[in-house]
């Protein structure tokens, strides 16, 4: 039960929810998230740290870049929740725009 409480608390902030939904598409670098949200490195990193402390997100360093992904294994119940949310949120323009920006940024390979 505590795991669900931490997850929903972490997802109660819009930017963190949007980050997690983007991470369902795969690993992302801080610089990619900065570009998608047009936010500072410190703001994006603060939200990623919160998600990491909640147990939902893991990180790894690649050279000078930090890459983030959903924690593996996240657990079947939590995975089911994320799948459900991802399906429902495709109806919201902000999430569709985030995915479009992600696709555009991936083509540019901005993290080298």
80, pLDDT greater than 70: yes
Dist CA 91 CA 63 (whole Å): 37
Instruction: Please report the domains of the chain, with CATH numbers, ordered by start residue.
Output: 2-103 (1.10.10.10)
Structure confidence at residue 98 as a pLDDT band (50, 70, 90) = very high
At 1 the pLDDT is 72
Mean local confidence (pLDDT), 79-84: 87
Output the average pLDDT for the chain: 91
The structure tokens listed for 13 are: 């902030």
112, pLDDT greater than 70: no
At 76 the pLDDT is 83
Residues 34-62: tens digit of each pLDDT: 999 999 999 999 999 999 999 999 999 98
107, pLDDT greater than 80: yes
């Amino acid at each position: 039960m505590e795991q669900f409480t931490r997850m929903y608390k972490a997802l109660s902030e819009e930017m963190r929810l949007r980050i997690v939904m983007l991470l369902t598409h795969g690993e992302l670098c801080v610089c990619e998230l900065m570009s998608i949200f047009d936010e500072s490195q410190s703001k994006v990193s603060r939200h990623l740290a919160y998600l990491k402390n909640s147990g939902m997100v893991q990180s790894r360093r690649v050279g000078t870049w930090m890459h983030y992904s959903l924690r593996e294994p996240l657990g079947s119940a939590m995975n089911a929740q994320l799948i459900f949310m991802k399906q429902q949120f495709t109806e919201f323009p902000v999430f569709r725009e985030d995915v479009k920006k992600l696709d555009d940024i991936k083509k540019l390979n901005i993290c080298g």
